[in-house]
Amino acid sequence: MHGMISKPPDTAATKNLATSRVVLLLLAVMTGIAPISLYMLVPALPVLATNFGSDISVAQMTVSLYMVGIALSQLIMGPLSDRFGRRPVLLAGLALMVAASVACIFAQTLPQLIAARFFQALGGAAGMVVSRAIIRDIYERERVASMISLVIAALMIGQMVSPLTGGLIETAFGWRAIFYAITIGAIAVAAGIALALPETRRIRATSSGFRGDVGILIRNRAFVGYVMCQVLASQIIFTFAGGGPYIVVTQMGRTSAEYGAWFATTGFAYLVGNLLCVRFAPRHSLERLIWLGLGLQLCGSLLNLTWSFAGWNEAPAWLFGTQMIVMAGNAFVMANSAAGAISIRPEAAGTASGAMGFLQQGIGALMSQFGAYLGGHSATTLPLTSAVLAISLLCACMMIFVVPRREVVVSETLIEQAEEEETGMM
């Protein structure tokens, strides 16, 4: 039997939640708290390596193991939120994040800091996975793609803007001040959830369980294709973010704050892509919007590779200007792929979201380290831009060879048909 923490809202209450700006704001901030904490520390990595007398690759573990913590958290928190409810899982996760953030402030060695960062991610990532499940709980199915676009925009904008914030804080007050800011932010988000977000989990059939949900999802070709498309699209961001600081600071001789400012331009491009996605989603199919995004990704990454061969993107304006095209397309791919995956089996939204987040962040931990290697052990941007183009091609291959070739719209009729087909497979 699945445990019940609180009574789920009735239809009227659900509609009120769906139209509440406060709830929408909470969904955004709970989604963004973990990625913001991740990338706020990125500009300070060279300082950490110097202060602790370690190699830069060891300092990079404060980012890579953080991403491992995010991955494991989503694999755990998603199913737990399906079983016990959204609120208790969110509040418990944020409590763990606050405790770990305090431990980061008082860390005396780099291994202590790396361990504390892991637990910080383990708690903070609850907001990432549970927010997608809450969207599936309170919004009509035809609105899922649009709302996920907004929430994923918050997640990715947090990743893009936070290096600038972290760089400014580190320059002005030192690297420990970054964790003071993270602690205060986590407490504020937890307070908002406790005061303004009721339980949204719907009652599930007693025969439904984690193993059954997973079995149905992994046998569904559309689910696998959408998840892999979304996961690979996210690796473009992780790879570029991993190599970017070393290219800008080491190769180009710029400051960490300037790197944060340039990196924020790609966040602006992602925001524009998501706003366009929200506008186009009601009138176009998921598949069409994904292909539009894939086209932009491929064009932008091919141009950046061309600039690398020509030697033009050794200046930040060329490198990041072209990457903005990639990120605008990335917004279309990630939002609509996530919407397609999470709508395959709505009653297992937490499990589906967790599986997607686990793969995204788990692979992202490796790709971030790989990007750092490419940026830190080369004299040009060519290795990094080649990797971005290769990932863009793999992402397109998922749509070509895995996702069924049909116009897919997340509608009531489609979901009901999919559920009937899956029931027959049991």
pLDDT in tens, the chain (426 residues): 333 334 445 555 555 665 567 888 888 889 889 888 988 988 888 888 888 877 777 888 888 888 888 888 888 888 888 788 889 999 999 999 999 999 999 999 899 999 999 999 999 999 988 887 888 778 765 677 677 777 776 666 666 678 888 889 998 898 999 999 999 999 999 999 999 888 877 665 544 566 777 788 888 888 999 999 999 999 999 899 889 888 988 888 888 778 878 888 888 898 899 888 888 877 788 888 999 999 999 999 999 999 999 888 888 999 999 999 999 999 999 888 888 887 777 667 678 888 888 888 778 878 988 998 898 888 889 999 999 999 999 999 999 999 887 544 444 444 454 444 444 433
Q: How many CB atoms lie within 10 A of CB 207?
A: 7
Asked whether residue 403 is assigned to any structural domain, the reply reads: yes
What element of type H or E holds 106?
none
DSSP readout, 42-91?
A: GGGHHHHHHHHT--HHHHTHHHHHHHHHHHHHHHHHHHHHHHH-HHHHHH
Report how far residue 377's alpha carbon sits from residue 136's, in angstroms, rounded to the nearest whole number: 43
Asked whether residue 1 is assigned to any structural domain, the reply reads: no
Asked whether residue 273 is assigned to any structural domain, the reply reads: yes
Closest CA to 193 of 393, 36, 376, 27: 27
Asked whether residue 25 is assigned to any structural domain, the reply reads: yes
Query: Sign of the C-alpha dihedral, residues 24, 28, 29, 31?
Result: positive
Q: Which domain holds residue 179?
A: 11-425
Angle between helices 286-310 and 221-245 (to 10 degrees): 30
Asked whether residue 219 is assigned to any structural domain, the reply reads: yes
Report how far residue 381's alpha carbon sits from residue 247's, in angstroms, rounded to the nearest whole number: 7
Number of domains in the chain: 1
Asked whether residue 2 is assigned to any structural domain, the reply reads: no
Asked whether residue 292 is assigned to any structural domain, the reply reads: yes
Question: 331 with 156: CB under 8 angstroms?
Answer: yes
Q: How many CB atoms lie within 10 A of CB 310?
A: 10
Residue type, 66: Y
pTM of the predicted model, to two decimals? 0.72
Hey, what are 184's tokens? 């205060």
Q: How far is CA 196 from the centre of its chain?
A: 24
Closest CA to 203 of 66, 8, 50: 8
Question: 135 with 147: CB under 8 angstroms?
Answer: yes
Check which CATH number belongs to the domain holding 111 and give it.
1.20.1250.20
Residue type, 273: G
Report how far residue 127's alpha carbon sits from residue 106's, in angstroms, rounded to the nearest whole number: 25
Report how far residue 183's alpha carbon sits from residue 105's, in angstroms, rounded to the nearest whole number: 9
Report how far residue 96's alpha carbon sits from residue 129's, in angstroms, rounded to the nearest whole number: 16
Task: Classify residue 109 as exposed, middle or buried by CB count within 10 Å of its CB (0-12, 13-18, 19+).
Answer: exposed
DSSP annotation of 120 reads H
Helical H runs in 85-109? 86-105
Question: 353 with 74: CB under 8 angstroms?
Answer: yes
Asked whether residue 4 is assigned to any structural domain, the reply reads: no
Total residue length of the chain = 426
Q: Count of alpha carbons within 13 Å of 378, Cβ hemisphere only?
A: 20
Report how far residue 78's alpha carbon sits from residue 72's, in angstroms, rounded to the nearest whole number: 10
Closest CA to 348 of 186, 260, 220: 220
